Amino acid sequence: MGLATSVLRSRTLAALTSPHGVDRYLELVNPMWAAHEVRARVVDVHREVDVPGHPPVATITLQPTSTWRGHRAGQHVQVGVEIDGARRTTRVFTISSPDSRPGDRFTITLRANPEGLVSRYLVGRARPGTMVHLSQAQGEFVLPDAVPERILFISGGSGITPVMSMLRSLQRRTHRGHVTFLHYAQSPEHQIFAAELDEVRRSGHGIDVTLLHPELGDPALSPAYLERHVPGYRDVPTWACGPAPLIEAVKGAYADSPALRLEYFKPPKVAGSDAAEGDVVFSRSGAAGANTGDTLLDQAEALGLTPESGCRMGICFSCVSRKSEGTVRNVLTGEESSLPDEEIRICVSAPVGDCTVDL
Amino acid sequence: MTATQHAAPDTAATTDAPESTASIFGRLTPEQLESFGEEMDAIRQRVLADLGEADATYIRNVVKAQRAFEIAGRALFYLPPAWPLAVASLSVSKILDNMEIGHNVMHGQYDWMGDPGLSSRMYEWDNVCPSEQWKYSHNYIHHTYTNILGKDRDIGYGILRMDEDQPWHPYYLGNPLYAFLLMVFFEWGVAMHDLEVENLVAGKRRIEDNKALHAGIMRKVKRQAVKDYLLFPALTGPLFPLTFAGNATANLVRNVWAFNIIFCGHFPAGVATFSQEECEDESRGQWYFRQLLGSANITGGKLFHLMTGNLSHQIEHHLFPDLPARRYPEVAEEVRDICERYELPYNTGPLGKQLFSVARKICRFALPDRKREDAVAPESETTLAA
């Protein structure tokens, strides 16, 4: 930690800038200055795949503030963007570049999901110079410090991103063992990182890359296929990442093998409209029940919880809570919202379908 | 509001009480109340749907201006001849921070931006009152039960007699003095508001109930005091006493200004108060109606509105406490238009007039109300009985 950082994080400066904190002043001078928060400037936006009629995929290079503590290959990061210069919206994206040290540049690779405000913004509208807000790197889906000799990666679709970060890290660490990489994609045209994978395959540094397109007749994932491709696969340290059906197949094939490490890419559930269906889960307390259609505050209280609340009419904001999943309808406006990790006033929000609230 | 509750105002309307809430409530039929509420809801929806970059840019610019005044003020203390300028700059900073930024941000007016720096849950203001406690007593108690006697603790703040329905007591002879002291020490009064000292005295609240609050207040007081009365004065070395005095003056200026603006919000003549009975099972329309009758505006220019945190539009603020305050002037035109159509009072006037009216009230209620001493009791009884 340099002298400047020590000063910026000192208790004296915190006392002098109380109650707002150092960062609230630094950001006004230069958005790349920070003592605690993490932000980044977009350095480059590179289109990876742009098939007409399909959402484009881009790799975005980010220069983080010096507060970035670095990441381990396989981790993800929360990225917040200001949509239309006003509404900050945050989503999680996997880092595609190899391990980074504090303050190092890194990349995220993402598909512009037609429903995704943030991914569409990043792929379509971010330009070099655009500022984004970051968390520190998160996630346990990482390579261990002592890398095993034999490694199997299995990924599907966008699940290739963390695996790519790991592959790149292994190459940089000059890993001498044997790596097998199985990737499932829709079609060769949709292949992200196609050129790089080709390069890896041909250079023959002990990395065996197989791209599979089951929709075009390639074998789907099965124990038999795995056994043929990687004999004794159940004992090979394996990292698998992809959409739910692929992960379910992998889990089935590995039974309870401790060699398997998983990461889901959850598909968002689409909720129905008016009818009260689904379940409401209050994750912190563990309380849960069938959705009655009442406001979340009423439902929480009916389940014996006593969340903080005040006016019960949406004006005092005492009851603001974090909804981690699901759709809610504002009972005053009728407006529905499906954003994950959203701050809502539970006194005027009724769930539409399944809903999870951090209470 | 039910029909039976409505019968009361009609019978009471013949008495000679121009400010009586009973007669004012009777001005609208239940149907009118409902459509009045719908019109207010429509304004709210329209503004909510229109929120965007202009609102975000506005509040960010106010924050930038506030920080600039703050830094300039702190820096100018190094130049002793610029002392008045330093105090003025720091005073402006504190007023902007507390009013246009702090008060409004803590109402959740900018929560839709998703910016933690402007979030009602995170924002802490440059004031000795902890934001957590403020949000309870202000956003919840005051804004939900506005001007309901016995519920809204902002009627006289538990210190003053500001309404004829607060029974007189010789203690209230000191009304003008208490008001003066509250003005000078306003931020401290606000910080202690949640302790409900008047209820402690009355035995309705136990000292243990305040234990959790004490810690929060002390923490905030310590931070504010260390900053304004120790660190920044110390940083100016030999000028310590001057900087100390300057910071104290800036806090005083903010106290006096905030007190005066806020007292013009609910205490000028003509503002109605309500009994708990008449507000039972209140409809949305009636709630809006009560907010309108229970608040008063101050006229002035753009800069004046900014420096009051747009509390010069107290009526619009009480109707729409979670809409960004910069929208109140535009909303006010529609609200006035609606009030004209429904023939409802819209209490507004220049600062001088409103302040004079408040001062008169403070002095008048210091004394027992001779004129109405006999009339009040039976009238309120008829209201209750009905």
Superfamily grouping for domain A37-134: Translation factors (2.40.30.10)
List pLDDT tens digits, range A253-264: 999 899 999 887
CB A107 within 8 A of CB A79: no
- pLDDT (0 to 100) of residue B215: 92
Contact A223, A253 (CB under 8 A): yes
Whether chain A has a CB inside 8 Å of the CB on B281: the answer is: no
Nearest-CA neighbor of B2 among B306, B244, B283? B283
pLDDT value at position A275?
60
Contacts of B111 in chain A (CB under 8 A): 317, 320, 343
User: Which amino acid is it at A338?
Assistant: S
Give the model's pLDDT for residue B12: 35
CATH 3.40.50.300 fits A150-265, yes or no: no
Please judge whether B322 and A317 are an interchain contact, meaning their C-beta atoms are less than 8 angstroms apart: yes
Confidence of residue B97 (pLDDT cuts 50, 70, 90): very high
Distance CA A134, CA A153 (A): 28
Q: What is the mean pLDDT of the segment spanning B305-321?
A: 97
CATH number of A279-357: 3.10.20.30
Q: Does B45 touch chain A (CB under 8 A)?
A: yes
Winning range, highest mean pLDDT, from A84-98, A284-298, B247-261 = B247-261
CA–CA separation, A241 vs A161, rounded Å? Answer: 9
Percent share of chain B, pLDDT over 70: 89
Q: Is the pLDDT higher at A3 or at B12?
A: A3
- Count up the domains in chain B and report the number: 1
Would you say residue A84 has pLDDT above 90?
no
Is a pLDDT exceeding 60 seen at residue B356?
yes
Q: What's the pLDDT score for residue A140? A: 87
Q: What is the mean pLDDT of the segment spanning A13-24?
A: 95
pLDDT computed for residue A237 by the predictor: 96
What ipTM was predicted for this assembly?
Answer: 0.85
In terms of residue numbers, what domain contains B88? 3-385
Instruction: State chain A's mean pLDDT as an integer.
Output: 89
Q: What is the pLDDT of residue A201?
A: 86
The reply to whether residue A317 touches residue B135, judged by beta carbons under 8 angstroms, is yes
pLDDT digits (tens, 9 = 90+) for A123-181: 999 999 999 999 999 888 999 888 899 999 999 988 899 999 999 999 888 778 899 99
Task: Quickly state the pLDDT bin for B277 (edges 50, 70, 90).
Answer: confident
Give, for A57, the enclosing helix (H) or strand (E): strand A57-64
Q: What is the pLDDT of residue B371?
A: 61
Among the partner residues B53, B121, B124, nearest to A86 by beta-carbon distance:
B53
Domain ranges of chain A: 37-134, 150-265, 279-357
Closest-CA residue of A relative to B111 is A343
> Which residues 293-352 on chain A approach chain B with CB closer than 8 angstroms?
310-311, 313-318, 320, 332-333, 343
- How far is B132 from chain A, CA to nearest CA, in Å? 9
Same fold yes or no, A150-265 and A279-357: no
Q: Is the pTM of this model over 0.80?
A: yes
Structure tokens at A227: 């056994």
Q: Which of the listed ranges A178-192, B25-39, B131-145, B190-204 does the model predict with the highest average pLDDT?
A: B131-145
pLDDT of residue A297: 93
Query: What pLDDT, on the 0 to 100 scale, is given for residue B331?
Result: 97
Please state the rounded mean pLDDT for residues A197-206.
Answer: 83
Asked if A24 has any chain B CB less than 8 Å from its own CB, the reply is: yes
Q: What is the mean pLDDT of residues B234-260?
A: 98
Dihedral, B234, B240, B244, B246 alpha carbons, nearest 10? -120
Residue A192 main-chain phi, psi, to 5 deg: -75, 150
B375 pLDDT band, cuts 50/70/90, is very low
Mean pLDDT over residues A100-107, rounded? 96
Question: Across residues B247-275, what is the average pLDDT?
Answer: 96
B151 to chain A, any CB pair closer than 8 A? The answer is no
Say whether A316 and B135 touch across the interface (CB within 8 A).
Answer: yes
Whole-number pLDDT of residue B24? 60
Is the Cβ pair A317, B139 closer than 8 Å? yes
Calculate ∠ Cα A301-A306-A307, nearest 5°: 100
Q: Give a three-class secondary structure readout of chain B.
A: CCHHHHHHHHHHCCCCCCCCHHHHHCCCCHHHHHHHHHHHHHHHHHHHHHCCHHHHHHHHHHHHHHHHHHHHHHHHCCCHHHHHHHHHHHHHHHHHHHHHHHHHHHCCCCHHHCCHHHCCCCCCCCCCCCHHHHHHHHHHHHHHCCCECCCCCCCHHHCCCCCCCCCCCHHHHHHHHHHHHHHHCHHHHHHHHHHCHHHHHCCCCCHHHHHHHHHHHHHHHHHHHHHHHHHHHHHCHHHHHHHHHHHHHHHHHHHHHHHHHHHHHHCCCCCCCECCHHHCCCCHHHHHHHHHHCCCEEECCHHHHHHCCCHHHHHHHHHCCCCCHHHHHHHHHHHHHHHHHCCCCCCEEEHHHHHHHHHHHHHHCCCCCCCCHHHHHHHHHHHHHC
Distance of alpha carbon A49 from alpha carbon B249, whole angstroms:
63
Q: Is the pLDDT of residue A190 over 80?
A: no
Confidence of residue B26 (pLDDT cuts 50, 70, 90): confident
CA geometry: angle B32, B38, B41, nearest 5 deg: 145
Alpha-carbon A173 to chain mean position = 25
Count Cβ atoms below 10 Å from residue B2 Cβ, excluding itself. Answer: 10
Q: Distances from the Cα of B365 to the Cαs of B20, B147, B173, B182, B336, in angstroms? A: 16, 17, 8, 16, 30
pLDDT at A180: 95
Helices B351-364, B240-266: axis angle to 10 degrees equals 80
When pLDDT is averaged across residues B309-313 and rounded to a whole number, the result is 97
What are the residues whose beta carbons fall under 8 Å from the beta carbon of A344, sequence distance 6 or more? A296, A320, A321, A322, A323, A328, A337, A357
Contact A176, A153 (CB under 8 A): no
Say if A216 is an interface residue toward chain B (CB within 8 Å).
Answer: no
Query: A18 — contact with chain B (CB < 8 Å)?
Result: yes
| pLDDT tens by residue, B150-177 | 999 999 998 999 999 999 999 999 999 9
Residue B3: pLDDT above 60?
no
Average predicted confidence (pLDDT) for chain B: 89
Question: Does position B101 have pLDDT exceeding 80, yes or no?
Answer: yes
CB B332 within 8 A of CB B315: yes
Identify the pLDDT of residue A311: 73
Which chain A positions have a beta carbon within 8 Å of B224's beta carbon? 18-19
